[in-house]
């Protein structure tokens, strides 16, 4: 059941990400929702689940974008896997820890993605620091907000069901 929910979430996030692709800073998207989702899955479900989700989501995103298929998937997979491993070693319950996790995963993703494109001499990135840091902050904020909503929503729905009158 969790796998079906993860696949459905990936499809929804990909649709939102492609719709919001016009929002960018210096050619880089302000928020990479696919990376945020895969890091969330890795932190909550483990490194293996994050690895699988990031591989699938990255390949789907690469197939929808104009670039080499696999570079984005590989960078998302490594970033999500590292976030999943970190979540087993450290307690990531606080807002600052979660923000830092999304922030570092975005920096790792950017370094791997841009490094591979530069290494293969496919594209150059003259000054990527500002755009990667902007995306890292955006991903950190969206990730923390998403975590808070995911923790708050089940309790809210249970309270709502408990306060509704019974239908006859």
For residues 60-78, average pLDDT: 91
Q: What are phi and psi of 103, to 5 degrees?
A: -60, -50
What pLDDT score does 21 carry? 75
Instruction: Please compute the mean of the pLDDT values over residues 102-120 and round it to a whole number.
Output: 95
Provide the b/e sequence for 8-43 (b: ≥16 CB within 10 Å).
ebbeebbeebeeeeeeeeeebbebbbbbbbbbbbbb
For residue 24, is pLDDT > 80? no
Q: From residue 101, give the alpha-carbon distance in Å to each of 21, 31, 65, 146.
A: 23, 15, 26, 13
CA 137 to chain CA mean position, Å = 13
Arithmetic mean of pLDDT over the chain: 91
Say if residues 112 and 106 touch (Cβ distance below 8 Å).
no
Q: What is the mean pLDDT of residues 36-45?
A: 96
Q: Is 24 helix (H, G, I), strand (E, B) or coil?
A: strand
Q: Are 43 and 101 in contact (CB under 8 A)?
A: yes
State percent of the chain over pLDDT 90: 70
Ranked by mean pLDDT, the top range of 1-10, 77-86, 147-156 is: 77-86
Least confident window among 1-5, 112-116, 140-144: 1-5
pLDDT of 124 over the 80 cut: yes
Contacts of 86 (CB under 8 A, 6+ apart): 92, 101
User: pLDDT per residue over 126-165, tens digit each?
Assistant: 888 988 999 999 999 999 999 999 999 988 888 888 887 7
């Amino acid at each position: 059941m969790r796998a079906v929910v993860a696949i459905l979430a990936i499809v929804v996030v990909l649709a939102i990400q492609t719709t919001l692709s016009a929002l960018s800073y210096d050619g880089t998207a302000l928020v990479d929702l696919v990376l945020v989702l895969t890091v969330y899955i890795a932190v909550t479900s483990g490194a293996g689940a994050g690895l699988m989700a990031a591989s699938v989501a990255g390949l789907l995103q690469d197939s929808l974008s104009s670039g080499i298929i696999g570079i984005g998937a590989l960078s998302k997979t490594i970033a999500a896997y590292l976030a999943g491993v970190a979540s087993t070693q450290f307690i990531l319950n606080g807002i600052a820890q979660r923000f830092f996790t999304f922030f570092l995963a975005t920096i790792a993703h950017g370094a791997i993605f841009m490094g591979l494109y530069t290494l293969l001499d496919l594209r150059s990135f003259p000054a990527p620091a500002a755009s990667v840091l902007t995306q890292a902050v955006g991903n950190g904020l969206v990730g923390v907000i998403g975590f808070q909503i995911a923790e708050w929503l089940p309790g809210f729905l249970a309270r709502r069901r408990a306060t509704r009158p019974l239908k006859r």
